[in-house]
Amino acid sequence: MIIYSAHTDQDLITLLRRGDHDAFTEIYKRYWSVLYLHARHMLRQEDQARDVVQEVFTAMWNKHAQFELTISLNAYLYKAVRNTILNIIRHGKVQENYLADLGDFIDQEKVQTDELVRYNDLKRLIEREILNMPPKMREIFEMSRKEGLSHAEIGERLGISDLTVKKQVSKAVTMLRKKFKIPLATLIILLRILP
């Protein structure tokens, strides 16, 4: 009788590749709780965290015959959870909690690889939306955000009224809020930490 709990992760992966469902069950038991806690911490939603972990394990079983690791099983599973969550974010299914946590992370300067990757992904998404704005709106918004110019300074530089500048900045912020479904305070934090 095989005692699966006594096997190393590598032994379990070898058995998994052969289609050993008990080896898969042992991996599941070994890692489900910590992955769930990790996902819940990132998402702040229990049901969604459960779904993410379930999706990761389902994908693992579905490709068990071709399953190859170049990193530890632990690192692979954490990375898979992170990537699944990033896909959810890209599709607009995560709202304020994740973004607020990201702002807190930047404020606390806890630079760790996974968080930095998530930050960079979110930054790229926001930058892409800014690039998709109408040209005049984008120009005004970037002068406000990147150069830190006041509405009056932008108006003077572009030969338009302060009110026009204010309306364009307001429209740009509204577009970003709608796209990412986040409150104004969170968006301001994100725009402040973007270069």
Task: Write the CA distances from 126 to 82, 140, 165, integer angstroms.
Answer: 19, 16, 21
Model pLDDT for residues 96-152, shown as the tens digit of each residue? 455 555 555 545 444 455 555 665 666 777 788 888 889 999 898 888 877 778 888
What percent of the chain is helix, strand and coil (3-state, nearest 5)?
Answer: 80, 0, 20
Report, as an integer, the average pLDDT of 88-99.
59
What CATH topology corresponds to 4-90? Rna Polymerase Sigma Factor; Chain: A (1.10.1740)
Model pLDDT for residues 29-59, shown as the tens digit of each residue? 989 988 898 888 877 788 888 999 999 999 9
- Over 80: is that where the pLDDT of 177 sits? no
Segments making up each domain of the chain, as ranges: 4-90, 96-193
Let me know: does 16 contact 27? Beta carbons within 8 Å: yes
Model pLDDT for residues 147-171, shown as the tens digit of each residue? 778 888 999 999 999 899 889 888 8
What CATH topology corresponds to 96-193? Arc Repressor Mutant, subunit A (1.10.10)
Cβ contacts of residue 157 below 8 Å, gap of 6+?
143, 149
H-helix or E-strand spanning residue 15 = helix 9-17
